[in-house]
Amino acid sequence: MKYLHAMVRVRDLDASLRFWCDGLGLVENRRRDYPQGRFTLVYLGAPENPDSEVELTWNYDEEDYGSARNFGHLAFAVDDIYASCERLLTMGYTINRPPRDGHMAFVRSPDLISVELLQKGEALAPAEPWASMANTGVW
């Protein structure tokens, strides 16, 4: 058996690609449009293991996907958790669980998918503004 991908439904493909690619650094591996089925599939991979993908499914017709809490989360190891969170914060995303411990943070995509960021290797030393930043919302 081989793990292939996790699929998340997205409401706005451009907004989602901005988060997943520009914000988190995933790379688009391929895209498949199915106009007859009224949906597009975009497969994204992390640079270090591109074969384990996140599949974004964009249905052309609007649907209510709710708050997405039933999904759980996706997790990514990052080289520098502070730099990753700073980049996302600068792009306008809320860091729901800041990396106070230099090890773990949570952010939500435009489609409310929880994304866990974990520092590669040992935790970084606690640093401001993260060390004293409170949680925001849910993740």
| Candidate list 28, 62, 116, 128, residue with the active-site label | 116
Residues in the chain: 139
Nearest to 7 by CA among 22, 18, 20: 20
Task: List, as one string, the DSSP characters of 47-100.
Answer: TTEEEEEEEEEEESS----TT-TTS-EEEEEES-HHHHHHHHHHTT--EEE--T
**Partners of 59 in the β-ladder:** 39
- 62: annotated active-site residue: no
Catalytic residues: 116
